Structures are given as C-alpha cells and as structure tokens.
Amino acid sequence: MKNNYPPLIKTNHEPEYKTSPPLKISSVGTEVKKNSSVMPDGSALLTNTGSNSSLKIQGIDYIVHAVPKMRSSCISDEEFIEIAVKAAQNSIILADREGIEKLAICFIAGKIYRGSCPPEKLAKAIIMGALDQIEENCENLKKIIFVAFKKNDPDPSKEIYEPYLVDAFDKVARASTDYFVKCRRFAEIVSGDICDKGIHGAEAIVNSENAQMGWGGGISGAIQTALGSKASYVDQQRKDLMKKFNELKNQEEDDNTAEISFKVRYGGGYGIDNKLCYIFFVEGEQNKSFIIDPEHFCFKGLSNLWRISNSGTYPPVKITIKKSDKDKGLFEKKDFIKIEEIKNDDKSKDNKTPEEWQEELKKVDNDLKQVFNEDKVNEFKSEGKFGRVEEVKTLLNSVKDDSQFLNLIKTNQNSNSLKEFVSKNPASEVIKVIKRFEFDNLSQLDKEIKTKKIREYYKLGRNDNLTNDQISEYCYRVAIGQIKEDEKDQNTIDPKNNILKYLGIGALFLISFGLLLAFFVRKRKKY
C-alpha cells in the first residue's frame, strides 16, 4: 500500500529551533509565511493542562494543539488532507521531542473542517502518515492511540460518534504486512471521549484547533469544557508561544533557512559515485538539474511520476530544496528535498469571477450580493457540483421564500434571514441544512424509502440506531455528488413515478381480469 504523505524530516532551520531549547512548537514541512500572526497550517503547539484541571487530575499532562486547514480554504481534497496529515505528523514530532511516550490522537480536521472531503479518505491518510512518522523518526514516543470520538446520550439522535478512524485503522492493518506490523507495534484504536484517560491511557492528547488558537466546537470545545477554569490559562500559553514563534519567523531569513522551488521533469537514470540515481531537469533553465538518491523518501507515493504521457514526456513535478543547496551535486537520503505532483484544476468549478457570482445570486436575493465575496465563492467552489453558480442559485431559490425554512434557521441557526444564514455558516453547512430540510419534508412514503437507503449505506442492522448526524451527512454527500444514488431508486422516490407504477399495476390487473372473464364465457357457450 502506497502512502502519499511520507514522514516529515526536520532540518533544524524551522523557526522554533532558533531558540535553545526549541519552542514547544513543530512547523516541519509547513509553509511559514512572514508577517503572519497565526500558526502555519499543518503545524502543532504544546501546552500543559494547568494545575487541578480534570485532565491533570487524571494524569493527562499535555495537550498538543494540531492545526489543520478548512476544506473550503483549500483548492482540492489532496491539499486539505496533506495539511491534516502534517498536523498529525508534527504532533508526533513535538511529543517525541518533549519526551512523551504515549499520545492520543483525535480525528484531526474532522466534522467541522472537512466539508466535502470524504472522511474515510482523510482518516486513512492520517493513520498511514502517523504510523510512518513514528516508525521513521521517533526515539521517545512509543505508542500512538487513535481515538474515535464518541459521546453517548440517552437520546440516540443526540449521540456523537465519528467511526471513521476505527474503520480506516482496520483497513490499513489489513492492506499489507508492512502496515499490519506497524499497527501492532506502534498504535492502538479506541472509541470514546479523548478527555477520559481511562479510554486511552496516554499522558498527552491531540486537539484539532484553528490557526488563531481560539477554542472552537467539536474536540476543541470538549477539551475546553474538560479544562474548566484552566481553559483561559492554557489559552494564554498558546497565545504566548504563537507570539514568540511569529517574532522568530518574521526575522530576516538567510539562504540557510529559506526554501526555493523548481518545476522539473524526470530525465531517467544517472550514474554517480558508482550508484544509479535519478536525474530531474529544470524547465526553462539549460544545464540545471537535480540528482537524487533513488532510496530517498521523497519518492514515496508519487504514482504518476513515472507515467509517460501520449506526447512521450514525463509529467512535470515541483521540487523544493533549501536555497543553500541549489548547487548541490547529489541529494542523499539524509538531505532535505520535497517532490510534489502538479495536479490539474477541478473541472467541476466554473470560471466565473466573484463579481459574476454576485450578479447571478442577487437574482435570488439582492442582499446575497454582499455575502458572496471571494472567500465565500471559494467555499462553494470546493463543494462538488456547487462549484457552479447555477447550482448554488437553484439551491438557495428552493428555500428563499419558504416560511418554514426561514423559521427553522431563525430557531436553530440564530439567523434572521437567508443572507445572515449563508454569511455565518460555511458552504458545507448551508448545503447540509437545506438538504436535510428537504428530507424532513418528504412524504411519509418517500421518507421511508429514503431512510431505508440511508440505513443500507451505513450498513446498519435492524436494531442499530440511525442518528440525525448520519441522515444529514448522507443528504449532504448525495447533494455534492460523493454518493451516487441509483437512478432506479431515485425514480422510486419520485411521486410521479409512484403514480405511474400504481396505474401500470391496475392496468395489468384489468387486462388479466378481462382475459379470465372471456375464457369463462367461451367455456359456457361450448356447454
């Protein structure tokens, strides 16, 4: 099984290493932007849990605050997943550096962050990336425990459970002997509340947090609640560390710390020092090339790197190195170098500008023009078929004048208008709420048919509860095109098709009755 997210290798040139001892931060492999006041996407930061907090009393001494990125702010699922995996890997680097032996990892970038990204794909990548990281570069950290967050409730519809880590762990372990061994040696999988040490036994837990280091919902909210009055103390630790990190980061960089990228193409094998290596030629620069040891970890997971196109050339890729290494002859296994595939743009998006979206959407509601700025348009463009303004118009038109829906968002979303609802919520939540509203307003027969399909999708047994979250998630994923409902089943849900079906059955019954009657009449005439 190939892992597209290889272990991170620190260079000791990251901002956190400019002090001794290093800051309790790991930003390895992240894009460190100058003049920024927040944490880099994919980084991690460590705090203690304060004195006498419920976490500390249990023996949970540390929190690693991992920083994923919102799917709506990424250009693709691949970028979103790569950053989430880096956040997990930097959490492991940080825990190992601080001498932590057991680390409990939540579903980083889960429900609140993932938007249209398939959660199964995200969970699998996090597990594989974490396993490779702990195997490759850890001395102190002995075990990682993946925790599928589960919070029971007497009302099954209010139960919180994201099973994706459990399912992905099982699939990864079964996929190859290599990962089976890694799962047995370095990891465990459990379900429950990550704030309960009795569930996982780790002295440190991972929190999925935003780049501003501000408490949020989901796992972050659960940890804030568990900290109680110490939450503000932990928050101040985070803010102080983030400030120091950005002060160091914003210092003038020199050639030893800066990175530089090149667009290159594979040029075949190249012999150097009695060893066959790989050579890459820089596009647009004559006589500029990079020679890399074929055993370097940068090649792991690059499935398209060796695939020749119809024109007989290899696909272009991006190579990133340290500026100080730009004239290096051979990149050996220990050297820093990254290779990334250059992916095509998502064809499901339209090419219209935010201004063109605004003009189209003001036809739905003139106030919406103010809402659809560049960020909001990009949010919707990351949501499958809703990357096209016509689909968004159809979605919003379906509820703009519906008093029942407007009352719903006022009660449940604290939004007094459609404009406020769209403005306050990410695109994924807007789609999910509207599609769930459509489900709730199906006829009884259609709802039963749809519910049956949802239960089959989640493979629920007769006695298993179907939760509200599962219904909403299913409706959302169908809407953005991640779940393809069978056309035959779709027709079954259409009331018009149901009428035609019953008319057809009635017609067949009448024809059969007529033929039977004719048979008895002829039989009587004979006698």
Q: Rounded distance, CA 105 to CA 20, Å? A: 27
Residues belonging to the chain: 527
pLDDT tens for the 527 residues of the chain, in order = 566 788 999 888 899 998 989 999 999 999 887 778 899 999 999 999 998 899 999 999 999 999 999 988 888 889 999 999 999 999 999 999 999 999 999 999 987 788 889 999 999 999 999 999 999 879 999 999 999 987 665 665 555 677 899 999 999 999 888 889 999 999 999 999 999 999 999 999 999 999 999 888 888 989 999 999 999 999 999 999 999 999 887 764 544 556 788 888 888 888 887 888 989 888 877 678 899 998 887 877 665 565 555 545 677 888 888 877 888 888 988 888 888 876 544 455 667 888 888 888 988 888 888 889 887 888 888 788 888 899 999 999 999 999 999 999 998 888 899 999 998 888 888 999 999 999 999 999 999 999 999 988 888 888 888 888 889 888 988 898 878 775 434 433 444 444 555 566 666 667 766 776 666 666 555 55
Q: Rounded distance, CA 215 to CA 207, Å? A: 10
Question: What residues does 66 pair with on adjacent strands?
Answer: 44, 208
With vertex at residue 43, the alpha carbon angle to CA 78 and CA 343, rounded to the nearest 5 degrees, is 20
CA 265 to chain centre: 30
Question: What residues does 149 pair with on adjacent strands?
Answer: 192
| Six token digits for residue 9 | 């290798």
With vertex at residue 230, the alpha carbon angle to CA 228 and CA 231, rounded to the nearest 5 degrees, is 75
Which stretches within 138-204 are classed as H helix? 164-175, 177-186, 197-200
**Where are any strands of DSSP class E within 90-178?**
102-105, 143-151, 160-161
Regarding beta strands 317-322 and 338-341, do their DSSP bridges make them parallel or antiparallel, or are they unpaired?
A: antiparallel
Q: Which of 388, 295, 380 is nearest to 333 (CA)?
A: 295
Regarding beta strands 275-282 and 204-208, do their DSSP bridges make them parallel or antiparallel, or are they unpaired?
A: unpaired
Residue with the two structure tokens 């597209």: 4
What residue type is assigned to position 221 of the chain?
Answer: G
CA 419 to chain centre: 27
pLDDT score for 456? 87
Question: How does DSSP assign 431-470, residue by residue?
Answer: HHHHHHHHHHTS-HHHHHHHHHHHHHHTT--TTPPPPHHH
| Residues contacting 445, CB < 8 A, separation 6+ | 498
pLDDT score for 208? 94
For residues 147 and 163, the answer to whether their CB atoms sit within 8 Å is no
Kindly list the strands in the beta sheet with 275-282, ordered across the sheet, starting from the edge strand earlier in the chain: 330-331, 289-292, 275-282, 259-272, 317-322, 338-341
Please tell me the CATH code under which domain 17-249 is placed: 3.40.220
In the chain the first and final C-alpha atoms are separated, in Å, by: 80
What residue type is assigned to position 463 of the chain?
Answer: N
Buried b / exposed e over 347-380, threshold 16 CB at 10 Å, is ebbeebeeeebbebbeebbeebbebbeeebbbbb
